[in-house]
Amino acid sequence: MNWLEEICEANGRFKEKADIDVLPTERQPCPYAVVTCMDPRVNLEAAGIQPFKLNGELKSQVRVIRTLGGIADDRSLVVGIQVV
């Protein structure tokens, strides 16, 4: 099995477990924000930020703002805070 087939299979398993009625469709106000690089290798779970439970519900009260190089520029902060 190649890597693409493994990813597709894992995605299928997640979709089977996720309850579509509890998937987050609106963003609620969060008390915390983390600015980090948009590099997908940044492991937020290692920092204790769990994005979703296995059924798709939000697990964390932290808003993650991913920027180029992890620089907290005004545009990124405004969009991260105001987009609901």
pLDDT tens digit sequence for 1-19: 788 899 889 888 888 877 7
Domain around 47: 3-82
Token duo for residue 65: 């703002």
pLDDT value of residue 83: 62
Residue positions counted in the chain: 84
Looking at residue 84, what is its pLDDT?
Answer: 47
pTM score, whole prediction: 0.50
Residue type, 57: E
The confidence score (pLDDT) of residue 55 equals: 62
Name all contacts of 25-28 with Cβ < 8 Å and 24+ positions apart: 26/84, 27/63, 27/83, 27/84, 28/58
Domain count, the chain: 1
The low-confidence residues of the chain, meaning pLDDT below 50, are 84
Q: What is the pLDDT of residue 49?
A: 78
